[in-house]
Chains A and B, each alone.
Chain A
Amino acid sequence: MVERGRYRPVVWVLFVVATLAAVVVCLSLGSVRVPLPDAAREVGRFLTGRPAFDKTVWSIVVTVRFPRVLVAGLMGASLSVSGCAMQGLLKNPLADGTTLGISSGAGLGAVIAIAFGIQIPALPFAGTTIMAAAFSFLSLLVILTLAYQIDRSLSSNTIILLGIIFSMFIASLSSIIITFAGEKAGTILFWTMGSLASTTFANAALLFFSLLVFGGILLSMRRELNAFAIGEENALHVGVDVKRTKLLVLISVSALTGICVSVGGTIGFVGLVTPHMVRYLVGPNHLRLMPAVLFGGAIFLMLSDLAARTLFSPRELPIGVVTSLIGAVIFVNIIVAAMRKVK
């Protein structure tokens, strides 16, 4: 059998077109109505290095909206590809930064960095970012160690229970720190909410490079993820270096989650929603699924952010509200499907 499908170019053209369309839609729609040609003109001038034609339109579309759309897209791709990798590795469609409590852990890392002023002098925001990444890795280690202790097959129930308990544990730790770091509580509360307001091109660049490196590692492990998704024991038998694969996936997922949290706070369930929806389109084979999830995740978070910006304009919804709303529905959907299968 030839592995067709995998290289079916039309699908990829569609994904690219859909992603670009989402970018265009998100740039032209927003809280403020800017006619498409005007928006296009300013973006065109920006991309070709020319000055603004209409300064207000430029400010809104190029300076405020553009970096935000980029950050939303890159963050959506990063969180989704991380979620997808975890779901393959653990053979559990409910595994995700939010359900496992990794995002909470990353948030705690950021909180500690802020509360105790952990900084790296040369890099202004690196302290928070590195602490967030380190804590997401620690969280993952703790959760998976516990999970393996309780139940080697990592059933959905174990994952859900541990995720809830771990998140509660992290929340209480955060509360303690907030109590003792009074004057920084405002800054700290940000990490628990998640917001894409005030994102910059620098944030987008950071996300881009982290996606390039860690997303690249994850994409290079698609075959290994396939093996894990069929079964960890089977993966071992067909010759997958199980330990190395786990370590690389966990490091990459932690780094991506930590960086996303340090840029936009905790935006829940993105890594759960996208792979679930994309699996319907391209199937569970990670060779296709992983790249498709990159596009799907970018589109999903860009559109979620668009909804957050425009639904109740001029009011703005926190983006986490939008993603969690959709995430909760899909979460229940997966559980119900899983329960039916058991019966």
Chain B
Amino acid sequence: MEKTNAVPGDYVELSLVNRDYQGVFLESPENEKGIVLLKLDSGYNIGFVKKEVMEVKVLKKAEEKIEELEIKKNSEKPNVAMIITGGTIAARLNPSKGGVDWLDNPASLFKFYPEIFKLVNVSKVEVPFMKASEDMDFKDWQKIARVAVKLLNDTNVKGIIITHGTDFLHYTSAALSFFLKDLNKPVVLTYSQRSIDRASSDANLNLQCSALAAISDIAEVMLVGHASENDDFCFAMPGAKVRKLHTSRRDAFKVVNGKPFAKIFTDKVINVSEYNQRKKGKIKADTSFEEKVALVKIYPGQNPEILDYYLKKKYKGIVLEMSGLGHAPGKRARNSWISKLKEVQKRGLIVCATSQCINGRVDPLVYSNGRELLETGIIYLEDMLSETALVKLGWILGHKEWAKNRDAVKAKMLENIVGEISDRLEN
């Protein structure tokens, strides 16, 4: 195919050796640049190898559609603000072009999520960046926190909703829990697992329930999403106690070692556990963060010399996701971790322990392996989630006044600051 002046959306005629085809010229798939896609009048898309297309004739140029949707405000409804950061919930397929567009125009929210506007006014929409959550890091958490503080300190805003990709959403929710302590208003994170172009998208219920959460009196960082496979209610889950536990189900997020704050239906909030109440006043973000922290999963036969790498690369802290109650290969193992753990801690590395069981608390006292590991000085983080532990360690070490003193770091890591540690675990 020679260069063509056809652009996605144009109605064209493709000439091949034996016949011609008419249809809408589409964007080539990301991984198939040698292919031309055409939408036939029947609606079906078919492809052609570019080499075999002799000519592309534009029959009708695509019409530039300017969407002019106005955000209708109703003074009787409470105002919420939205922060859009990317992910499935903010991505929509543009079928006329065949590609995916970000839904970053506030007005387009109306088109896709008319239901949330029944309950609230979305008075402000901020888009600090558009990213898949697996592409985010602590700098993005800081950006979100700064935008959030600005909105939370606006007296016209009752609460905020942050839409986010699901993959690393629980890291962001943990980070915001530490960055935005002592909240005055609800900070609601939500997502979708099913793309919003389908009628079955879970975004609808998640957003409706998020809107209710944002105007509720729950002044916490919380994740709001499907409680089950049914489209009936969501859970409002504590930001530091939640984890993605399924790759694809709509109820992918579960509270681990804890309870949700509330059950949220589209028309009511039913409180389940204690939370901080909404209050007056302004808040500040505390976003200090030490980037040199790591999370390492222990596996059978693992050689502890991997720790030398982290020291060499100037890491300050590490969370080991251990087996069972908090074990790593001990004295009787071929590759014992005991002496290496002593050595790296002596050389200044902070080492914390969580469990790869996900559910339950670590306890090094039950087995001799655990006691020997405890003696090396590692910090056992109770029932804290590994992901929350990593974020917390980065946040603690980001504060110079704590980071300079090993005992202070330990004390802070074991202090329940935002609900990341539970004193008691219920059945």
Decide whether A and B are members of one complex: no
